Amino acid sequence: MTETVPEAVRPWAIASRADDLDDLAAVAQLDDAGANTADLYAWQAAMAAADGLALYRDALDEEGVLDPSCDDYVLCEWHEDWVVGSGEVMEIVSAKHRSADVGAYTTVAMLADGGGVAHLFNRWFALGRKPKCRLVTTGGLKAGPARELRDLTARLRALETNSHEPAVKPDENKVVKQLRTAIVAHDSGTAKRWKGTETSPGVAAEDQQREVLAFLASLTIVTVEVNQGVVADAAPTKYAKPVLEKMGRNLTDCVAVWKAVLALFRERMQSRGETTYGDLPLVLQRDRSGGPEPDVRRRIARRLVTMDDIHVAVETALAVPGAYQAVPTVPPISKVEIKMAHGGCSSNAVSRATALRMEYEEYWRDREGEDLEARVVRRDLERLLRRVSDRVMGNSERTGHLLWTAMDDKLVELQDAGELPAGVDSEIALGGLCDLSNRCQVWFGPRFDVEAVIAARRSEGGTRP
């Protein structure tokens, strides 16, 4: 009788991708800091989302329907910033945001170090020299060695496509030698392997050359203009619009679709995707599949984005695009707020006035419940406040912010002079002015039909929740 093997975790969402992902999991990572600090790499998440949308668009048929057999994927923060899997091809991607003040890459060493090419070489070799590699960067390539290396990678890829052995021309030998030197300088693992130890022979110079040429034939260097400063505005049109065009859907929903897909990638880059077992402990470690450790498989599952995942995000955004729009400012509805807004006061001033009016009402509610003289004191205070309002406004056309600050300053002056009632400070007094305004005894500008404005707001749904 065949023994039933219980599922320890849901390793990956696509069965046919198990071999690829097992290979990735079987090779130890050099570091794992990216998934824990993904919020520092918003631009990287956006570029990974762009790759995901490109895969998704390619998986749509002529009717704009997702091919159910498509098992393409993006695996976030594994070996490099992400891994793209499509058909028989796997590509590891390094994304480097380079600010404008740093300038373009000028040397091969800069690409190897700051551009991450040396790290890509390490991962490419560790993964059996199987994957394609790509560097995506906002840093341009200045004429000279950096651009010559990029051009060489394009020529070697063309040779490989036509089943020719990668070979360099005499004038290209210089940049290849520079890359070999830079890899040794910026990748200690490769330097140790090439040099060898007492128990492990090194790698001959000609074999090092062949390794580097094979790597360059797998490498693509891409410079993009969509930097962190413009990605939020540019991405919906650049990356979501082509998908909606192929689907035949409303192009006005580009922003909603982009935000939904980007949110998915941000989650997976922080290793927060779902697994079958969720956060339940891996009891007894009963996996007998012969694959990687269950915990490693669960970590990969949390970082995996499938075409089905993107499909759900896209369809959800299209069904409720309003959920991805900015929350509108709730229009003011009380009389004092309407008056202040009409007079040109800032949102901060309106919010402060609302809070002060509530504090004023609470103050007198508590005081009048204990002090028999409180009502007389409040009446006298409000007479004073009406005089202050009259004097501050005078015959001038002062309104809005100027009037608000002038009243505030005058009440502070009265407090300092000891002219406010005992127990009342300038803040309570200002709240009293707001309360008088709410009762239409004080205005923050020329009079108008405040009731009509409130009625219009309410008909537009502008009531407070």
- The average pLDDT across 431-444 equals 82
Give which of 404, 390, 414, 424 is closest to 351, Cα–Cα.
404
pLDDT, position 436: 86
Q: Which is higher by pLDDT, 220 or 7?
A: 220
DSSP of 203-227? --HHHHHHHHHHHHHHEEEEE-S--
Residue 297 — pLDDT band, cuts 50, 70, 90? confident
pLDDT of 123 above 90? yes
Q: Which of 309-313, 396-400, 421-425 has the lowest mean pLDDT?
A: 396-400
Tokens of 211: 């390794």
- The Cα 59–Cα 72 span in angstroms is 8
DSSP of 256-321? HHHHHHHHHHHHHHTT----TTTT---GGG---SSSS-HHHHHHHHHHEEEHHHHHHHHHHHHH-G
Q: Which is higher by pLDDT, 440 or 122?
A: 122
**Residue 155: exposure state from Cβ atoms within 10 A (0-12, 13-18, ≥19):** middle
- The Cα 381–Cα 377 span in angstroms is 6
Neighbours of 432 (CB within 10 A): 27
pLDDT, position 228: 84
| 382 and 432 Cβ atoms separated by less than 8 Å | yes
pLDDT of 26 above 70? yes
pLDDT of 323 above 90? no
Residue 285 — pLDDT band, cuts 50, 70, 90? low
DSSP of 329-349? PPPP-SHHHHHHHHHT--HHH
Which of 16-30, 274-288, 300-314 has maximum average pLDDT?
300-314
Q: Which is higher by pLDDT, 278 or 170?
A: 170
Contacts of 374 by beta carbon, 8 Å cutoff, 6+ apart: 364, 367, 368
Neighbours of 25 (CB within 10 A): 20
pLDDT of 232 above 80? yes
DSSP of 107-147? SHHHHHHTT-HHHHHHHHHHTTT-SEEEEEESS-B-TTHHH
Residue corresponding to tokens 């551009």:
115
Tokens of 337: 């707020």
- The Cα 132–Cα 120 span in angstroms is 10
Q: Which is higher by pLDDT, 21 or 40?
A: 21
Tokens of 410: 């005058």
Residue corresponding to tokens 């919020």:
39
Residue 12 — pLDDT band, cuts 50, 70, 90? very low
Tokens of 6: 């219980």
**Percentage of the chain exceeding pLDDT 70:** 83
pLDDT of 190 above 90? yes
pLDDT, position 137: 94
pLDDT, position 109: 96
pLDDT, position 174: 94
